Amino acid sequence: MTIRTLAVIGTGLIGTSVALAARAHGVSVYLSDRDESAVRAAAVLGAGRPQLPRDPVDLAVLAVPPSQIAPVLSELQARGLASSYTDVASVKALAEREILDTAPDPSRYIGGHPLAGRERSGPLAARAELFRDRPWVLTPTRLTSRAAFGRALDLIALCGAVPRVMRARAHDDAVALTSHAPHLVASLMAARLREGPVDAARLAGQGLRDTTRIARGDSRLWSDIVESNAAAVADILTRLQEDLSSVVAALYDLADRERGRELSGKSRHTLVDLLDRGAAGVGELDEPRPGQPVPCPPR
């Protein structure tokens, strides 16, 4: 085990959960957050000491929004906080590009993203078990050192997660599809719920609750996430927009014909085709493919 001391920068849900998992394995954990009350709450939960140490720690975990990764890394490296650095942000390519351009020592950094979360945010929602058996993506660059890679793998092991190595861009394209676009789509649907008949929600079932659940969540954090992966998310939503236009046109056509009691084979086909493709798409989630083996660390 290469991690005896750990610093966690940002004691929200994810940072505090990492800290709790490390504490459960006897690691000395130091906590920091711009928000004094968040760091105190994390410390009270037993996540670590509410201060940063004088001597360098083995690993620092940046649990800050995607847009803050590069500037915070530069600041921490300038003061020599840690031997190695990783982060847990859900977008990787933008920060990686900035870090390769501007960080004092990019070789000490490896990007990371644990695929875990809850709708609740903040340290009080944290759990040491949050990452258990979940994928945790690492995105080494051509400069990432063997030591930084190894410490990140050890952190993942401490958290009980399953490492997966990907290129930052491939990661971001995947999560645009599996997380960022779905979040916005849930928000788009949920936003309608305040526009309808006042008592419509009384007829809501589990289906509606499930489709909109992820639209809870911190709007500013999610705006930062989605903005950091804007082009990939926009491309997916553009394809969705094309389908949506066809469906709306088909529905208005069918509503007209309904009055006239005629058939409209083409519009009906548009609906059935979308529903079929949707059902097939959900089917993709049924087929867990075998995990990609973790290749040897570079250098």
Residues of span 253-272 touching its own copies by CB under 8 A = 254-255, 258, 268, 271-272
Q: Is 132 in the site for its own copies (CB under 8 A)?
A: no
Q: Is 233 in the site for its own copies (CB under 8 A)?
A: yes
- Of 94 and 128, nearer to its own copies (C-beta) is 94
Q: What's the token pair of residue 125?
A: 């929602």
Distance CA 110, CA 113 (A): 10
Residues across the chain? 299
Q: How far is the CB of 76 from its own copies (least distance, A)?
A: 21
Indicate which single residue of 4, 275, 298, 299 sits in contact with its own copies (rule: CB under 8 A). 275
Q: What's the token pair of residue 243?
A: 């389908």
H-state helical runs in the chain: 13-24, 36-44, 69-78, 93-102, 146-158, 168-175, 181-191, 206-212, 219-228, 230-260, 265-284
Q: What's the token pair of residue 64?
A: 């800050």
Q: What's the token pair of residue 27?
A: 């690691």
What SS3 class is residue 84?
strand
Residues of span 86-105 touching its own copies by CB under 8 A = 94
Indicate which single residue of 51, 244, 298, 299 sits in contact with its own copies (rule: CB under 8 A). 244
Indicate which single residue of 49, 134, 163, 294 sits in contact with its own copies (rule: CB under 8 A). 134
- Of 84 and 228, nearer to its own copies (C-beta) is 228
Distance CA 16, CA 2 (A): 20
Residue with tokens 């083995």: 58
Residues of span 155-184 touching its own copies by CB under 8 A = 164, 170-171, 173-175, 177-179, 181-184
Chain centre distance of CA 216: 14
Indicate which single residue of 46, 239, 298, 299 sits in contact with its own copies (rule: CB under 8 A). 239
Site string for its own copies, 206-225 (x = CB under 8 A): -xxxxxxxxxxx-xx-xx--
